[in-house]
Amino acid sequence: MATPTVNIEDLRRIVNRLLDRVEASGTVKVPLYDTFYWDVPEEERYGSDERPTDLDVRSLHDDWDCIRFLLEEGEEPIIDQLGELATLLRYIADKLRETEDG
């Protein structure tokens, strides 16, 4: 069986559609009420053979500060910022789901 792959252009289109859906529902800002979250270190994150033994505490505020500078002219993105973006997208999904579930 072939290893599944993610086409980056397809992923970009999917993310854009999802964010369009969020905006169409009237959400244009999501407050970062929660500051800290648990993060599984990369070496333990993938695979399910064993339960992670080490957790890190990270900050949503720091993640947002890390990526929002990409809006400024001349700022070059770094690959690590994809991780911060992923965490913020997960947080937004969790908060919007809470709102929908009421």
Largest CA distance in the chain: 44
pLDDT in tens, the chain (102 residues): 899 999 999 999 999 999 999 999 999 999 999 899 999 988 888 877 888 888 999 999 999 999 999 998 888 999 999 999 999 999 999 999 988 776
Q: Hey, what long-range contacts does 77-84 have (CB within 8 A, 24 or more apart)?
A: none
Cα angle, residue 84 at apex, residues 83 and 87 outer, rounded to 5°: 85
Q: Is 18 a member of any domain?
A: no
User: Residue 40: phi, psi to the nearest 5?
Assistant: -90, 125
Q: Is 83 a member of any domain?
A: yes
Whole-angstrom distance, CA of residue 13 vs CA of residue 22: 14
Instruction: Look up the domain containing 79 and give its range.
Output: 29-101
Q: Is 3 a member of any domain?
A: no
Inter-residue contact 38 to 62 (CB < 8 Å) = no
Q: Please report the pLDDT score of residue 43 as a whole number.
A: 82
pTM: 0.86
Q: Please report the pLDDT score of residue 102 as a whole number.
A: 62
User: Domains in the chain: how many in total?
Assistant: 1
Q: Please report the pLDDT score of residue 47 as a whole number.
A: 78
